[in-house]
Structure 1
């Protein structure tokens, strides 16, 4: 060990002894006040004990200062000090044991009289032995203490003195001064008397109202209560009482000390945030204070060990709490000290109430006491909340005075802040402790839609307040203002596991749900707190309870939590698809955990998605290979088959492994067509190289790779497919040549591969309909007939007229030799009249110029009859001027053109027909 470690160990043992000494001082003070008759030599024993305590605190202060400044004592010196500290601790333990036994006998009642009488025969030997042991310890440590006194000075050492030491020293001085009146029931102390500490050079004066020390198990309603006061400067504060209620030394024999009253004194120092009020002694690095709340009766004589175990000792306020032991302290506010003002007439005035608030803000406890005793109410209303004001000032003495005079501990201010809430917000633990004893309810919200004090403490994750409230009955299953449970709120606030364990040990429901239906386990998993997950499971959390969803779903995001849940009984059969979720979020650790737990690697999520396809989709090679190695089936489809997924998501690197694992490229068919559809030339080449047919049809669309390449206008794919054996005579969703008329470049490549292009009826009309004159030319060059009708009805010429493709009409008439009188769905000239948009007669004139006969009747119609029905004189004259008119032609109803004009009352048309030249 290094010198620093030896020094740290010695300092720890020294602190352990001084803390025990502080507790012994309190026990000794209790015994002095509780004993019906003091043993011979008790006062001397107390003084010897105080001497040793002061020496120990001197050395501790020196060691703390040396450690703080980085100095190290010689190893031999620290080892010798360590040995002496252990000896002192052993002496203190013996003294504490004797005091505890004596206190127990004093409190035992008449039934213990024989025991006390019997022990008195031997007590004369115990006190001298203890004095002798303390004397040896004192002498062995004296020189070390002097060394630190020389280096630090008395002021630094006095600051480290414990409150128990201060209280016992002052009480002994008071008892010695009042020894002349011992046994007198009606004697009164000299007015203005004060008690100085042993070392008065720092002007720290302590007054102890001995009549206020009331045991929480047997509290009396006293006519008067004085609290410990202190001052760091100026003359000592007077200890003044009214004559009619002056305490007597003899009265002390019938009262037990109140621990809290011994533990805290107020000094007018600058206010600092602290769990405790200001005290006479400035806190050292180890924060030596007395406990903030009265322990149960059975702890009074239990020594420091029991206090440590219960989290009540000072050490537990600066170190991690050990929540393994549940402590519940019963509260009986009726037994707490109360005081009725001697006068209440005329005291309830605004000015006096304001004076009370001013006195509280100025930390003038004497003025507060006087005002309350004159009848100023402690509950002056929500606008000026006296208790809350005292708590904000961290003035425990005033808090106790207000409660003593009837302040309501649960009353809230107009800002919906109750005293307990104020104590939590201010970090004033001592005030919270005394409020709880006076009936403050840590479960009571100060107003609707506000959090209770306990909830506020949990939101702040304040260990001290949480433990205190739990000891005094906090409801661990209450719901916060925003609908959270205590557990879910604490987990959200990222608290320590020790706090969660503490709450659970006090009965929190590990399965309780928030208003959103979330359980603590769900919240812990979401936060990734595997330690809290384990704690909740240890306390009965159901890993299969939806909250709001099954716990394995969120745990998939947290592999460690997932592993714990599966080991602790979570049923993965209730979460079908969890493997796919783990794959989708790329959690290979979760995938491994699930595989090891026996989850099926082929199980689908939502009945569709498989883990293997998701791994391919997300390009997670590690998960892909892990799944295949653990039995994933390469032929189980998700939204598509795994092999198809490799093509659609450009994951060609996975295809060889899939095929080697049993992936079938031929069932279902269509994988090559999929490669074309997704523009994956590399995949298409690989598939063709590995035996996939270029003519396979997709099961649903019946498309072939070639027809898809044509449809998507991919000439490069058409070229590859034709060169790799694709058959242009195999129909896909349509015939390849019929689809190719839309893309002349592809058609040009395709026509040479066709043995008989004319075999595909209607292809010319399709090219015209697509307005692709280049395709028309290519088809004509390939031998396709210009009159090739589609469906036996639609001719290329009539389609060109219908679609108003003038260039194609002209090409068909002038270059291709299309017959202007060959009908399609109608005669070309009739179709031209029906598609006529005035004044454009270009197509009509083209047809007439190429020999279209307007008098030819087809299916009961001719161009002349159509012109009469249209009532267009210009068109009728144009037709007659070119060809003349056949007045004997009849329509499908047997009427001639003149009869049709007469029936319609069109005299102009009738006149044109009569005057027109006759058709030859």
Structure 2
């Protein structure tokens, strides 16, 4: 079933599926392994019960070792009572059982079977007492010793049980790398890893008379071990063997809070008293003090045990040290007194404790605002009140040049704001960037509650102050689009007509982003000038059109908007924007309110280009808006190519009719007839001709509309199938078919060269000279060169001279013979015979 699953949920879901399958397989494997161990143990026990000889030799050593690993003291005790050997030895038993550690929890932590750990390397050959020591199982150790086990037995590493119990995991792991670390991520070195897992076994064996003389550790190391693990019993052993309580700590036995070894420089000069304080070993500290340990010795960092205790907020340790005569006004290496250290750590309980113990406040810097900032950041109002009562400045700046009130406002902590204001904090004190607390209270990022803003205003924050580029509270409130907040700022006396450094008002600020209808209505209600402009000409109407807010547009247009309705922003009026978006409703509303459809044009200028409303609608092929603009008096340039591209004869006719009615001069755009014929707009051309346009006139290049109809510069030469109705229209109305342009190009010659047979016939029928020349090259020569028999026949029919020559003196016979065109030669011979 799993193989048939479809991967339809993306890579992420596939990975989750695979992970779930793996977890299920691991759980099943764990269950199988557990059952295997159980069945193995059960089978072994069953085998013992069925052995005829019930002596200890009948019990397999593997079963006995399994009892010890699982702490089955009942089975072990019964076996020992029946005469089992307490020094039983198993040559094949692996202490660590590394294969057993491969089962893991989902978090990656191995689940061992039994109590064996990885504190030693794998060895074969071990007796029962060593295994019990490895498990730190004092009950099993007692059973074995009571049964006569040899307390000085050695394993294959020559370690007695006492020596084996002395080892710690950190010693082993630093000496023997973990073989599973790269595969299973086994047991990372954390604080929990650095432990003495057999300390109970060590004490038990020591008290039962184990020979400690074989222990290679020095008395100082034993004392250090006892101090580290807060075990006075171990410390007593070291002291009995002559250890010095003021000995310096050896590097290999000193670890930081995470269990990592410290460098040589970090522990230089550190003594056992420092270690006891570091690990908050109260019982060990009492033993050291009782044995006259030096209490004021600084370590390499200049920290005395008392300062270390203050740093770690260890109240019991501090009280013990103070009871021994340590001054509560002690300082660290930099001369910072203990009280200031406690204040910097933000511990109000410790501060009050030190004050009760008589610490002086004259020895630390009241201008240092760090304790206050720490207390505010950690939301400790009682600590803040205590520091302020001690004389700390409520207007302190931090390293970012922000005051305490800035921090409290930014954290939305109204209680802290109240405490600071009552203590004399200046509500309008600006930070390093020039912003007061009110700026952060009104900012859109923080969303500070109204009550905090009102607290600042009620305590004297200036509602008309400025920041940045001249902005102020009213500007910030307008941008938050919060009607209630805006009313609050206005009710506290905000000036609605105030402008910033760019000359913008609060209404103008609304135009920089999406228009807020409710906010704008409130400003209008209070009498704000919503007709104000930005410096670049962007008005409220521009913003409304952009946001497509019809309700707001109707509300604004109900006022007198003549001042702004035709304002141009980057040559665009509000009407331009509506026309560009194709919004007929908005365009009609603006036109009805007085928008000028010819905005941007001079009095007699005609629109040409995309910066004019009608041209935009025309380019968009938006007939509805074009008609709307035309009805409201938009001027139309008949020389706009888009009119003829769509052959809008109705529009041309309406424009001409309106111009006649207004007494305007018609056809002042000579370009109209040229574009009509160039784009084959027959209907438009017919309207223009009917209205009397001079279609025979020529432009500066001596080109007539007929020339454009045949050879429009913006179009490639005509081909045989490119028939044009406007050519027929012009010729029918008397256009001259036999003409040249400024460059000497002849229409008939050009059409022969283009092989447009229908056009050749049309021109000849309209009276074109069949012997017309272009640059002294007759039309017949063009046809023969192109090897076009049909055009050649048409030219001959209309009287083309077979014997005519070009400027090189060549006849058409010579050209046909050179081209080896036999059909053409025969045609020309027959034609010459007929002409003769």
Q: TM-score, normalised by structure 1?
A: 0.46
Displacement after TM superposition at 1:405 (Å): 0.5
1:429 equivalent in alignment to 2:277: no
Q: Decide which of 795, 805, 812 is 2:684's aligned counterpart.
A: 812
1:586 equivalent in alignment to 2:447: yes
Supply the distance in 2 between the matched residues of 1:837 and 1:813 (Cα, whole angstroms): 21
Supply the distance in 1 between the matched residues of 2:424 and 2:391 (Cα, whole angstroms): 12
Deviation string for 1:8-35 (max 9, x for gaps)? Answer: xxxxxxxxxxxxxxxxxxxxxxxxxxxx
Q: How does 1:143-542 map to 2 (within 5 A)?
A: 362-363=202-203, 371=212, 377-380=218-221, 386-387=222-223, 389-391=225-227, 393-399=229-235, 402=238, 405-406=243-244, 408=247, 410-412=249-251, 413=253, 415-416=260-261, 423=276, 427-432=280-285, 438-439=293-294, 462-465=314-317, 475=332, 490-491=345-346, 495-496=347-348, 498-499=350-351, 519-537=370-388, 538=390, 540=392
Residue 5 of structure 2 aligns with which residue? none
1:548 equivalent in alignment to 2:425: no
Q: Is the 8 A contact 1:694 1:704 kept in 2?
A: no
Q: How does 1:547-696 map to 2 (within 5 A)?
A: 547-551=399-403, 552-557=405-410, 558-565=413-420, 567-570=423-426, 572-575=428-431, 576-578=434-436, 579-584=438-443, 585-587=446-448, 588-607=450-469, 609-637=471-499, 641-644=505-508, 649-655=514-520, 657-659=522-524, 661-668=526-533, 670-693=539-562, 696=565
Supply the distance in 2 between the matched residues of 1:443 and 1:722 (Cα, whole angstroms): 87
Q: Is the 8 A contact 2:566 2:595 kept in 1?
A: no
Residue 765 of structure 1 aligns with which residue? 640
SS of match in other structure, 1:363: helix
Displacement after TM superposition at 1:620 (Å): 2.3
Q: Is the 8 A contact 1:442 1:453 kept in 2?
A: yes
Q: How does 1:820-831 map to 2 (within 5 A)?
A: 829-830=707-708
Supply the distance in 2 between the matched residues of 1:767 and 1:433 (Cα, whole angstroms): 101
Residue 656 of structure 2 aligns with which residue? 783
> Residues 468 and 605 (structure 1 numbering): CA distance in 2 closer, same or farther, change over 3 Å?
farther
> Residues 618 and 421 (structure 1 numbering): CA distance in 2 closer, same or farther, change over 3 Å?
farther
> How many residues of Structure 1 are paired with residues of Structure 2 in the alignment?
534
Supply the distance in 2 between the matched residues of 1:570 and 1:919 (Cα, whole angstroms): 108
Residue 716 of structure 1 aligns with which residue? 585
1:860 equivalent in alignment to 2:739: no
Structure 1 residue runs of 5 or longer lacking an equivalent are 1-267, 271-348, 381-385, 480-484, 514-518
Displacement after TM superposition at 1:521 (Å): 4.0
Q: Is the 8 A contact 2:636 2:655 kept in 1?
A: no
Deviation string for 1:148-168 (max 9, x for gaps)? Answer: xxxxxxxxxxxxxxxxxxxxx
Displacement after TM superposition at 1:658 (Å): 2.7
Deviation string for 1:102-133 (max 9, x for gaps)? Answer: xxxxxxxxxxxxxxxxxxxxxxxxxxxxxxxx
> Residues 420 and 778 (structure 1 numbering): CA distance in 2 closer, same or farther, change over 3 Å?
farther
> Residues 374 and 834 (structure 1 numbering): CA distance in 2 closer, same or farther, change over 3 Å?
closer
Residue 32 of structure 2 aligns with which residue? none
Supply the distance in 2 between the matched residues of 1:842 and 1:462 (Cα, whole angstroms): 102
Displacement after TM superposition at 1:606 (Å): 3.1
Residue 824 of structure 2 aligns with which residue? none
Q: How does 1:101-180 map to 2 (within 5 A)?
A: none
Q: Is the 8 A contact 2:677 2:708 kept in 1?
A: no
> Residues 682 and 577 (structure 1 numbering): CA distance in 2 closer, same or farther, change over 3 Å?
farther
Displacement after TM superposition at 1:535 (Å): 4.3
Structure 2 residue runs of 5 or longer lacking an equivalent are 1-135, 139-157, 168-197, 602-609, 801-836
Displacement after TM superposition at 1:462 (Å): 4.2
Deviation string for 1:616-663 (max 9, x for gaps)? Answer: 332323321221122212123468532355676554444454345442
SS of match in other structure, 2:681: helix
Structure possessing the higher relative contact order (Cα contacts under 8 Å, 6 or more residues apart): 1
> Residues 463 and 606 (structure 1 numbering): CA distance in 2 closer, same or farther, change over 3 Å?
farther
Residue 114 of structure 2 aligns with which residue? none
Q: Is the 8 A contact 1:675 1:684 kept in 2?
A: yes
Deviation string for 1:490-547 (max 9, x for gaps)? Answer: 45xxx5454588599786767779xxxxx45444434443444444554646734342
Q: Is the 8 A contact 2:466 2:472 kept in 1?
A: yes
Displacement after TM superposition at 1:583 (Å): 0.8
Supply the distance in 1 between the matched residues of 2:366 and 2:668 (Cα, whole angstroms): 76
> How large is the RMSD of aligned CA atoms in angstroms?
5.8
Supply the distance in 1 between the matched residues of 2:580 and 2:279 (Cα, whole angstroms): 76
